[in-house]
Chains A and B, each alone.
Chain A
Amino acid sequence: MSDYKLHLLVCGGTGCKASQSELIYENLKKEIGNEGLSDFAQVVRTGCFGFCEKGPIVKIIPDNTFYTQVKPEDAKEIVAEHIVKGRKVERLLYTDPVAKKTAGSTREIGFYKKQVRIALRNCGIIDPENIGEYISRDGYEALGKVLTELSPADTIKIIKDSGLRGRGGAGFPTGLKWELAAKSPGNEKYVVCNADEGDPGAFMDRSILEGDPHTVIEAMAICGYCIGADKGLVYIRAEYPLAIERLKTAIKQAREYGLLGNNILGSKFSFDIELRYGAGAFVCGEETALIHSMEGGRGEPTLKPPFPAVSGYLGKPTNVNNVETFANIPVILTKGAEWFSSIGTEKSKGTKVFALAGKINNVGLIEVPMGITLREVIFEIGGGIKNGKKFKAVQTGGPSGGCLTEKHLNIPIEYETLVAAGSMMGSGGMIVMDEDDCMVDFAKFFLEFSVEESCGKCTPCRIGNKRLHELLDRICKGNGAPEDIDRLINLSYVIKDTALCGLGQASPNPVLSTLEHFRHEYDAHIIDKKCPAGVCKALMTYEIVPENCVGCTACARACPVGAITGERKQIHKIDPKLCIKCGACLERCKFNAVIVN
């Protein structure tokens, strides 16, 4: 059979699936069948394209047409116009929000222009449930090459030379980690893939597993060969059902092809992979806690050393890497360490995947070379701030990171520069805030997360974070005292210095960085009892401007607690003691008579 001349790629990531991409896929297939073009055009369900803001996405190959926000009923028009007659469906093309121009192909879309896709190289291109498509794009070539031509030590050297560092947060050199596990004595060792992605708003690992599961399987097998392990375990959240399903399919296919199992590709090396499900605890992203959870114990961290490379899963030498780290391995081995280290900066090589979220125009998943500036990421790829508002800050590194402000926009994104600026790389969550966000409330939000997720083992984290949260809550409610600032700072440093694991040590970061860059907002809450951004409800008062009030009674009828009094055609009044600050009156008033202070 000859190849298909046209490919219709439909996003099958969780985001687009939630917007009926499955039905779009079915409809496109049906319409193509109706036109008698089933041998001519192929419909493929792929992984995430990254441009989640505009999903569901349908991309037509080879002319690279990018259709956004497609609905199931659009399938008929796409097939009748584009597939049969070669005419693009203009109304579904992406329109640049700034230039107001429609983009005929992906190359004209700002979101993709500065991206370099290594870990996401197959996401949105191949069908993740078809091992043949992965193989057709040099999949398992690296594993074959390593098993046939390279010794474990040679392979580790290539990874070391590439300069790849862990993508889960701390940035430990991957090659060195493998070497430690390889040198560790023992004939039973384990390779673990950390797919316990827990940062609020982050979905890098999920997208890789959903869009290209074979790359993780291949990399784990390579790691097994290097360190001398014949068993791999993927620790994945049970709340990622699609990623689990695709991973299971991929493992099954790899076994059928003899790419997992005994004597892989005729070599002496045997390797297989099993899944372990996590219940969604943030602390289990920490490798010792993760290992305890896999063993069936409580997900609590323990002191290092001993490092997992010496005593990990079941007390055996174990190498733990994050999903994105693994996704880089096969390409490094096929294209070479030199190629990889030519991308990025001196100390941070390659690329990093980020999940853009918050008040940004192009919410989605991006992969950029290290060294790119925050400004490029937020204003060029991200398309700037929603609704033309003013940029205020960006949080990198999730609840363990810090916020970066306007003055940091031009710093290059690297492990070291981000730490120097008071934040961290983290696993890749990037939450953008605009002028309407209150930084005290924001710090409180992340603290709340850390309090919830603390495993409770060590006192600084269990009790310290709780107290920090209480202080912030008090400030947000207008009961803060000037001494509270010093209390916050002192307690933060105590927690940082004494907590057992990374979660506790990093949890005060959002407090410290907001205090450093937005001290004036804390002062406004404590001294003036005002929330400048208008977020903290307790500090707001609703009032009626007598000059504007016409006495239409709309606000009084909208008020759920009867706090507004006034006769028809008379000026109304809000009783501050009864007002619950729900804002219903503000929404209802047509005469701008209700104001918030």
Chain B
Amino acid sequence: MADTRTIKVEALARVEGEGSLHVKVKDGLIKELHFGIFEPPRFFEAFLRGRDFREVPDITARICGICPIAYLMGASQAMEDILGITVTKPIRDLRRLIYCGEWIESHALHVYMLHAPDFLGLADALELAKVDRALVENALRLKKVGNEILETIGGRAIHPVALKVGGFYKLPTKKQVRALEEELKWAVETSIATVKLVGGFDFPDIEQDYNFMALRHPDEYAIHEGRLVTSSGLDFPVSQFLDHVEEEHVPWSNALHGKPKDGGNHHVGPLARYNLNYDKLGKTAQAAAKAAGLGPVVRNPFQSIVVRAVELVQVCEDALKLVQGYEESDRAYIEAPVRAGEGHGCTEAPRGICYHRYRIDADGSVLDARIVPPTAQNQKVIELDLWKVVQANLTKSDDEIKWRAEQAIRNYDPCISCATHFLKLQIEHG
């Protein structure tokens, strides 16, 4: 009789939303592996139909409490694409600043509270606090710097209210923005120390030949603007996203799988951005990466925690410069008459590219909505990583395999709430 084993993780922890893993092993080989998403569907694309185009940024923000800016901004850009609006430089800069805030909050949360405990063999950041309270206090302070940027510009950290199609309802005063300066100086130094800390963790020896996809911008480390590029050599405007990416519906997941139309898989998020845009990182971030032993190419998914920390350095420094250069502008937003049309928006959410496409009627009603969040696109590569990780650890106990597999999933900082708009671990040794 064949030796069979089933390993299940019913509800993954320290991820945003509800996911699972199911692995079936027979005679020492994996027969089946599904990274499932059981978070119930919420049907955003459906109920957006008939809503006014101006409501879409605030409504789509409710897809995700961790990265509302990715939705507020992607939706706003798509509507601006339809109306022919180009925002002014001060509005563009303020958008980048609030987006830096979201990256700082999200990356600090993930690096310290959600991911680092795995590398230290601890269940959570509270256990970490028992070992090193000052470290967790610093992590929380760093996270708070991000939230303070969001609150200063947006009114609140989760589902900020000041953003709209064309810009902002109201701009913050110079005094309010400049008040962020001192904490951001501290945050730059703390992020550099974070890279050093997480760079010293032990990483499982695994390298994957990923096809990365990220936004790329000629003048900056792309966050909220750019063309889409891949490591396979594609380079196309955001408006052609759906010419290159399709969504597949699989029975074990409430999140559609986003994948390249020409076959294979693509990987989005910090690792993709780092590999495709290393040359656009500032000197401080590059130096921090180098000091932690990272070259311009990183293909070990477990090192994503170091890359996330390098990105923290980048966005803290970017935010500091934007804060120091902020002047009050006379226009909070740009308006244009409503017209029918189709528009696209795409930004780098902390977890990777988040794409929006809308069609609206002449009266501004939404006719059709399509949103492709980052975690949906990463489901396939997460499964590919899990095949390798689980296979390499099959001699270990179920509990050890589970933990290692969870860690591999957390490499992606999966946001399941986003993907169902999008997880459970089951390993079946059968």
* A and B associate: no
Residues of A bordering B, CB below 8 Å: none
Name B's A-contacting residues (CB within 8 A).
none
